[in-house]
DNA sequence: TACTGGTACATAGTAACACAGAGTAGTTGG
DNA sequence: CCAACTACTCTGTGTTACTATGTACCAGTA
């Protein structure tokens, strides 16, 4: 992945994953696959799992273990109330940034 | 500043500064002031200076020293050809990210 | 003269995050 | 048995923005 994308994902990847979870619960491997479909073709698996552990420790998601038909059991994450609130903050921050950048892009 | 904003600025602040410089040359103190006017109210001065040194070392900007009426001489930065190219890459990366995020925001 | 405040740049140390790369397990099919 | 897919974990590294502090230069003023 490009250096620019790597740096830009810092902070936003977390929001992206929370947004995915706000649609419906999901587990790590599934989220990774979803990201790849979205075009984030080479986000490292390890990055996603580490992020999930982080947001779990911050209490933004609830976790349940479900057996899988194939492979080891899945850790299914779902956004809780605190996570929902945090996601709204994220959208606020994102909007602020996106507006300034659109302004900058036009302004020349 | 919030944790979210701090993380999101990683990767974007560089582009923001380059975009400011693409409009016209500027020096560090001036850029910091411009950022504050834009609403990035508490971006640390040290952050901007460090960033300017970084982009100078990468060869994205040219530097000239100009005497100042008040205080020490100014280091005036201007975007060069390589910087222009890099900025275009930045806009490409940004657009990609912004599109996915808008999609995610709508999709629920 | 001494002091204050604004201008202008620099640096050392810290925390957070994405990445690379390797490893551990379980299941299925050749 | 082993390759391929599923599913999660862990260690170490580089980049970045922040905090905090320091240097330096000038104007106005008491």
Contact state of B100 with A11 under an 8 Å Cβ cutoff: no
Average of per-residue pLDDT values in chain B: 94
Contact state of B14 with A2 under an 8 Å Cβ cutoff: no
Kindly tell me the sign of the dihedral angle through the C-alpha atoms of B79, B80, B84, B85.
negative
Contact state of B4 with A19 under an 8 Å Cβ cutoff: no
Q: Percentage of residues in chain B with pLDDT exceeding 70? A: 99
Question: Phi, psi at residue A72, to the nearest 5°?
Answer: -65, 165
B10, B96, B98 member nearest A7 (Cβ): B10
Chain B, nearest residue to A104 by Cα: B19
Task: Give the C-alpha separation, B67 to B45, whole Å.
Answer: 20
Contact state of B104 with A2 under an 8 Å Cβ cutoff: no
State both tokens at A28: 């790590």
Q: Tens digits of per-residue pLDDT, B2-22? A: 899 999 999 999 999 999 999
| CA angle, residues B61, B47, B70, in degrees to nearest 5 | 75
Q: Tens digits of per-residue pLDDT, B59-99? A: 999 999 988 778 789 999 999 999 999 999 999 999 999 99
Q: Which residues of A touch B (CB under 8 A)?
A: 2, 4-12, 14-16, 19-20, 22-23, 38-40, 89-91, 93-94, 96-98, 100-101, 103-105, 107-108
Q: Which domains does chain A have, with CATH numbers?
A: 3-106 (1.10.10.10)
Q: Tens digits of per-residue pLDDT, A24-70? A: 999 999 999 999 999 998 899 999 999 999 999 999 999 999 988 88
Q: What is the nearest nucleotide to A1, using C1' and CA?
A: C19
Task: Give the C-alpha separation, B108 to B106, whole Å.
Answer: 6
């Amino acid at each position: 992945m490009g250096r620019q994308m790597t740096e830009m994902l810092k902070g936003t990847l977390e929001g992206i994953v929370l947004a995915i979870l706000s649609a419906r619960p999901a587990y790590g491997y599934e989220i990774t696959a979803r990201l790849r479909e979205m075009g984030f073709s080479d986000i490292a698996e390890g990055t996603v799992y580490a992020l999930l552990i982080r947001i779990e420790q911050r209490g933004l998601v609830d976790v349940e273990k479900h057996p899988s038909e194939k492979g080891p059991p899945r850790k299914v994450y779902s956004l809780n109330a605190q996570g929902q609130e945090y996601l709204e903050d994220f959208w606020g921050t994102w909007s602020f940034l996106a507006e300034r950048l659109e302004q900058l892009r036009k302004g020349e």
